[in-house]
Amino acid sequence: MVMNRLNIVILAAGKGTRMYSNKPKVLHQLAGKPLLQHVINCAKLLNPLKIVVVYGYGGDAVPQAFMHENITWVEQIEQLGTGHAVQQAMPYLDEDATTLILLGDVPLLSVDSCKRLLEQTEELGLLTFIKPDPTGYGRIIRNSEGIVTAIIEHKDATSVQREIKEVNTGIIATKNKHLASWLKRLTNDNAQGEYYLTDIVAMAKLEDEIAVREIADDESSTDGWPGLSNKRFTIATEISHDEASVTGVNSKKDLADLERTYQKRYADCLLQAGVTLLDPLRLDVRGELNVGKDVEIDVGCVFEGKVTLGDNVKIGAYCVIRNAVIALGTQIAPFTHIDDTQIGENSRIGPYARLRPGTRLAADTHIGNFVELKNAQVDVGSKINHLSYVGDSTVGKNVNIGAGTITCNYDGANKFRTVIEDNAFIGSDSQLVAPVTIGRGATIAAGSTITKDAPADQLTFCRAKEQKSIAGWTRPVKTKK
């Protein structure tokens, strides 16, 4: 078929009763994205003219979660079956196009399977799967020549039909002009009282038989042009061999199983690309992880959004890293959290560091344990090694910030910046009350509360002048009751 006349309909109206959740099923997340987002992403890779999503349970919550996508939304107020769902989409489809019907709860669908199905589809094409335990699925009925004649739903199937292991994945492609006429003729006269989309298969087969008969009649007549107008209806099948890619999520167990499959596959790709994973089963990528050469990742790390790791980057155990760029040679020690941050080359971060949005670290920086940085720009060679908070700050080159230093960036209403110029040294347990500037080469004595700018190259301190000792002082003791 011609790939550029394609419509895609995604069925996503179901409640997902077995999820035991108030949230519509297609909004549950796999690898950090709603199930429906995975299906939309697959659909977009097929370059359709339009994507129509049929939604229902949960009302506007579903369309609202996908405002960023170019989707035609169609509400199915009552869920009367898959055929009824596609009927709702019919007015929005292009008459001369082919429609591929996808399910919103089959998140790992393979683009290649869809392409192969579409390539084979003339009038109607089915993506099928051989399932050792086919319980619950629609069975693919073939005649003695192997030609598909119908799909029979599990609940309507005879005990002999239930032995059939080839099942309908629910993914179906068909020419719109046929689809429109078949859908009009659906009835709900079946075990579930639903309008089954799958009944269109038997209708197509029937029309094919009529066409065969007409061709035969034409050939026996002496005057007409044999068979020219009587097109046969072929029902193509593409058999998937990848169970995960055609598996629908019905329960939290299914969701967890598919999540593991997804993560295992992602880890295998990373291994293939040369990354060292100390345990590929203990890695979670909920977005996109780009890696250079000789990258090493220890166990239990979570990557979210878009993360880029340069050559020779090492990530210690149990780090959570979101939307970050980490340049070559940098080492992140265990239990570090990094969010919307860029880190230059050969830096040392953690353990237990927290880098919050807007943080930009240049090369050769050291950020140590229990240090929190927020919207802080730190230049080459600077060190903040212990128990500090540096927020809304500009830190120059080769600055040393002592243990327990805090930038007081917030007065309860507004935020202010702290500027610490090159080569400054901030003694331990100092508070820098913003807005404030510490000049180039300045030294701040330990324990100072700095409220005014500190001049360059001078020692500035602000603490009790003298150290006092009180002789004969005794510690209070606990009074007995």
Tokens 């108030």 found at = 22
CB 295 within 8 A of CB 277: no
Query: Which residue number, 19 or 432, has a Cβ lying nearer to ligand UD1?
Result: 19
Provide the minimum distance between the beta carbon of 53 and ligand UD1 in the complex, in angstroms, as a whole number: 9
Provide the minimum distance between the beta carbon of 434 and ligand UD1 in the complex, in angstroms, as a whole number: 53
Q: Which residue is nearest to ligand UD1 (CB)?
A: 138
Query: Which residue number, 76 or 423, has a Cβ lying nearer to ligand UD1?
Result: 76
Which runs of E-coded beta strand occur in 165-213?
166-175
Closest-CA residue to 297 (of 281, 324, 276): 276
Query: Which residue number, 201 or 371, has a Cβ lying nearer to ligand UD1?
Result: 201
Residue 56 burial (CB count, 10 A): 20
Provide the minimum distance between the beta carbon of 18 and ligand UD1 in the complex, in angstroms, as a whole number: 10
Query: Which residue number, 10 or 376, has a Cβ lying nearer to ligand UD1?
Result: 10
Closest-CA residue to 40 (of 19, 68, 18): 68
Which pair of tokens denotes residue 286?
Answer: 């909920």
Residue 396 burial (CB count, 10 A): 22
Task: Mention every residue, 6+ apart, whose C-beta is less than 8 A from residue 84.
Answer: 76, 78, 186, 194, 195
> Catalytic site residue 386?
yes
Closest-CA residue to 113 (of 196, 43, 35, 37): 43
What pairs with residue 401 in β-bridges? 384, 426
CB 302 within 8 A of CB 287: no
Task: Mention every residue, 6+ apart, whose C-beta is less than 8 A from residue 387.
Answer: 369, 370, 371, 403, 404
Query: Which residue number, 51 or 283, has a Cβ lying nearer to ligand UD1?
Result: 51
Provide the minimum distance between the beta carbon of 183 and ligand UD1 in the complex, in angstroms, as a whole number: 12
> Is the sign of the CA dihedral 204, 205, 211, 215 positive or negative?
positive
Provide the minimum distance between the beta carbon of 82 and ligand UD1 in the complex, in angstroms, as a whole number: 3
The residue ranges that bind ligand UD1 (CB under 6 A) are 11-14, 54, 76, 79-82, 84-85, 103-105, 137-138, 151, 153, 167-170, 196-198, 248
Provide the minimum distance between the beta carbon of 293 and ligand UD1 in the complex, in angstroms, as a whole number: 42
Residue from 28, 68, 241, 386 carrying the catalytic annotation: 386
Query: Which residue number, 51 or 103, has a Cβ lying nearer to ligand UD1?
Result: 103
| Active site residues per annotation | 386
